[in-house]
Structure 1
């Protein structure tokens, strides 16, 4: 049986065996592309910040760091374009697609649900509540990490990219011209870009742990839901 639950009213799925279609195909495609781009950005970004030791041979025959930087920039374009596409789908998709960009901060039940989920993750609550989309705590963390963090990384990343591309480049006009003066100097932008990147890496680790934990302990499909689009509340 398929039942559509309204996440806006925080309605729970209390009966086992219910299946809810949550994530539409564009959301699922974006999720996996976004995950891949974050992994590539994290690895290449780390190598850019902490370069590999020099390799032997003629300098003109070695372009390793150049390839690493190119891969970082390519992944950044995928991340940024994907973010814009995801924002568009939040406007035209179902109400679950809007969660990533909207926090119901005036809803007291949402705050109560967040407190309950925090107690559940700390092993203080005996039973979890079941939500069709993201639970309130996951909703809040994903908004901070993906939406706020994503906008920050796009703005600071393209500001640094535009600095190298120099005046006349679109990235310099749209980002470098105001982001670097806002922070004071280029090195400050580098430092904050690096720091928030580590925050997103930490979020990704916790995100995977939480998905696996909820798959087992909450008796609801989490990982497969991002493949099929449907969430099933198991017996």
Structure 2
């Protein structure tokens, strides 16, 4: 807008200057013509011709200046039109930029909200991780206790197995001793039965032969003592 006003102002100033110069020239001519010390007619004609030539030259210059000024004005108008088009394009770009800026602001608000949500989730995950860490620590302590109990149970099982093996060995030894005792008992019962038979026979012989020789009852007496000993043992 400033570029378009400057050529118009310059043109107006030049036109005003040329008009003033023309008026001043005419005033000078009139003053010279009415001056008391009148000059000769030829001299006045010469001066008037000179003034006319100068006026014609001024008109030519003014015409050239006017054409130049009009060309400048046209160029200024073209420049103004181009500037208007450029301003229109810049306004369109500015509108697009403002729209993009609004979208960016909205996206920024959304992203800030997402960041806040993510921060809250991170805090929840941290709390969950801390709780899980504490729970894992408790589980590890419980596992250690269970491992200790398992170790103790294993040792107790080994001890019980050892005691079971020892008990089985003792039971087998007791069974062997029982069998030996039963065999000894059967043998002693057989011997006791024999002793009873011998004792009965000795009693019968003693009853039947009280009148016999005294040395005949000695073996029977020894056998009777043996049987008595066997009874005491059983």
TM-score bucket (shorter structure): under 0.3
* Structure with a larger share of its residues in helix: 2
The normalised TM-score by structure 1 is 0.25
Give the TM-score, by structure 2 length. 0.25
Larger radius of gyration: 2
Q: Which has the higher contact order (CA 8 A, sep 6+)?
A: 1
